[in-house]
A and B are shown apart, each in its own frame.
Chain A
Amino acid sequence: MKKIGVLALQGAFVEHIALLNHLKVEAVPIRLPQELRGLDGLIIPGGESTTIARLMKEYDLMAPVRELALDGFPIMGTCAGMVLLAKNVSGINSETLEAMDIGVKRNAFGRQVDSFETDLEIPAIGEPHFHAVFIRAPHIEQAGDGVEVLAQLPNGVGVAARQGKMVALAFHPELTSDLRLHAYFMSIVHGER
């Protein structure tokens, strides 16, 4: 059985653990570096990216997670997790993992009153469309050569991407009961994609 860590410093980590459990995957909260041992994958949840970045740094999680990413370890980040994975971030003054070759804009759609939900076409998981919840969400401004953009809004803005075994989503699959993106990530963990 595969074991996935969910970074549990702040934000909606309980929801990710619940979705993984629905997929019969063992999921454990990660708060300290020694807890990273023995994992098959890592999820960085939604939350406040500056808060998570600060706590990662203070508890020496930034360097070991960056090392895992460089080694080709499977990591999925949602919303704040996308911001933390990105190489370039506009609108943040904290250090990030700089693991994926994407440029990301924080709070790209505006303030909370502009947060929205919409049905999103994601070819990698097929039909039907994925009901995506965007909360003070980032979007992708630029993607490098090795990056596959998995989903775009109708205006062409990228909101999901994959590079190697890393997946970044601007929205929150953990706030819905649709398991397909977590199943997609698990197929990467299993080496099937």
Chain B
Amino acid sequence: MDKGTWTVKTGLAQMLKGGVIMDVVTPEHAKIAEEAGACAVMALERVPADIRAAGGVVRMADPNVILAIMETVSIPVMAKCRIGHFVEAQVLEALGVDFIDESEVLTPADETHHIWKHDFKAPFVCGCRDLGEALRRISEGAAMIRTKGEAGTGNIVEAVRHMRAVMDEIRKIGSMTTDELVAEAKELGAPLELVMDIHKTGRLPVVNYAAGGVATPADAALMMQLGAEGVFVGSGIFKSSDPEAIARAIVKTTTHYRDPQVIAEVSKGLGAAMPGLDIKTIPTDELLAPRGW
């Protein structure tokens, strides 16, 4: 019996496909998420919108917060560690967390290196803005990728930008001749073998979710139609006026993302979505997506 293998790690991500992973800060939130049909929850001390408002150094959540959520729900529980903070990751693995998010939403602990994720039995998910970043994370051992978007804004524009960047680059690689791939790998700052793999299969070797700015059912369906295999919803649920309704609606549209009738039906009477932020009003040094190397 082999545990913690690449197949087992990427396999869990495969099982999450077509699903919604919701940020939760209390066991009560986690229960609401599970009952709404979330395929996993992300255990946090604060949702990204509150993190953004509070400022300061943001670290891994208190283990008690994570454990309380793990005890409450039977779906997989994810938790975030800081970029490069492999000891926080060791702690999360020791707690029995099902998936570790090495996340730009927390304050980076290392501005040069990410965690060498192959050393862990728990699988990791990492954010990306483009294909080069995605492939660097996969080569370090990420078993799942998510486009970053701009967390805590309720504004989908960055998520769209990042998903389009990844998908466009995958299509471009698919149409290249083999000799062009070496130059492309150099340009992307990505390992050649992963670039060649994409050339052959036309897709990333791991599951790719969308994240950062999803606030409505239509936002979720937009990301799915652009090529996401599932969506993370952070502040979008528990910063809205009716979290249960919006959680259920986003779960339904993520399944029926190609069916405008369903999207129209579930979008009715959801109350106020979370307040949104124009990205241009955010000072450059407060943007989260550029964190990651």
Q: Give chain A's interface residues, CB within 8 Å of chain B.
A: 8-15, 31, 46-48, 50-51, 54-55, 58, 79-80, 91-92, 106-107, 110-118, 133-136, 172, 175
Tell me the minimal C-beta distance from B71 to chain A in angstroms.
12
A114 to B93 Cα, complex, angstroms:
11
A-B contacts besides A51-B38, A116-B2, A135-B12, 16 pairs, CB < 8 Å: A8-B255, A10-B37, A10-B255, A12-B14, A15-B14, A47-B15, A47-B17, A54-B35, A106-B74, A113-B93, A113-B121, A115-B8, A116-B8, A117-B8, A118-B1, A118-B2
Interfacial chain A residues near B36, Cβ < 8 Å: 54
Q: Is B19 located at the chain interface by the 8 A CB criterion?
A: yes
> Are A111's CB and B96's CB within 8 A?
yes
Of listed A55, A92, A112, A135, residue having the most chain B CB within 10 A: A112
A73 to B35 Cα, complex, angstroms:
30
A113 to B8 Cα, complex, angstroms:
9
A123 to B157 Cα, complex, angstroms:
54
Q: Give chain B's interface residues, CB within 8 Å of chain A.
A: 1-5, 7-8, 11-12, 14-19, 34-40, 74-76, 93, 96-99, 121-123, 251-252, 254-256, 259
Contacts A51-B37, A113-B4, A117-B7; is A79 near B15 (CB within 8 Å)?
Answer: yes
A147 to B123 Cα, complex, angstroms:
36
Determine the residue in chain A with the shortest Cβ distance to B16: A48
Select B39's contact among A14, A51, A113, beta carbons within 8 Å. Answer: A51
Determine the residue in chain B with the shortest Cβ distance to A131: B7
Select A114's contact among B3, B7, B97, beta carbons within 8 Å. Answer: B3
Can you list 20 A-B pairs, Cβ within 8 angstroms, ordered by A? A9-B255, A10-B19, A11-B18, A31-B255, A46-B15, A47-B17, A47-B39, A51-B19, A51-B38, A51-B75, A54-B36, A55-B37, A92-B74, A111-B98, A113-B4, A113-B93, A113-B96, A115-B8, A116-B8, A135-B12
Interfacial chain A residues near B259, Cβ < 8 Å: 31
> Are B40's CB and A48's CB within 8 A?
yes
Interfacial chain A residues near B96, Cβ < 8 Å: 110-111, 113
Select A133's contact among B11, B16, B99, beta carbons within 8 Å. Answer: B11
> Are A113's CB and B3's CB within 8 A?
yes
> Are B252's CB and A55's CB within 8 A?
yes
